[in-house]
Amino acid sequence: MELEEGKRAFICPASLYVDEDEDELECPLCDVGDKPNPPRAYLNVAVLAPGKKPELAVWEIGAAISDQLQMIDKSIGRRTKLSEIYIVANSKGTGLNTKYHLEPLFEEDLEDMDLKPLTDKQRDGFELYDAELYPIPSFKELDRIADALV
């Protein structure tokens, strides 16, 4: 991994190991005073819009959206799985002041929005993004980057 000119965002790998003893995990970038980004999650989502073909996208989320998704998952309970419902995501504000509101929808709700549910063929036809698209650098790679910063 080469450190290029300009800003690069890295995730602190120590923050990903919540089951480990935090004192034993050290992040090379944190050690040199750099502030890595908090952990993020990447979700494959189908974007639906009236009159348009569904498109696959990757949604990068942080803790706030993750918390809302967990609340939605609890609210739908045993009726279905989170991966089998639709979600309307609205945002308000810009930059660091952006707030998101997520609302669960079921297939019968889509008609009111002039949308059609995904077919099994559409779901199966998406080429899903995987972890290789957003790799998390190893401690060794971050060590090399930290050495270049000091």
Range with the poorest average pLDDT among 7-16, 65-74, 95-104, 111-120: 7-16
Q: How far apart are CA 62 and CA 15, in angstroms?
A: 13
Tokens of 93: 């504000």
- Give the model confidence (pLDDT) of 6-65 as tens digits: 555 666 666 655 554 545 567 777 777 766 666 677 888 999 999 999 999 988 888 889
pTM tops 0.75: no
pLDDT-derived band at 134, boundaries 50, 70, 90: low
For the purposes of burial, counting CB atoms within 10 Å of the CB of 136, is it exposed (0-12), middle (13-18) or buried (19 or more)? middle
Residues of the chain above pLDDT 90, percent: 31
pLDDT at 146: 79
More confident: 68 or 42: 68
Question: What is the SS3 assignment for 5?
Answer: coil
DSSP assignment of 24-54, as one string?
Answer: G---HHHHTT--PBPP-EEEEEEE--TTS--
Amino acid at 19: D
Name the average pLDDT for the chain.
Answer: 79
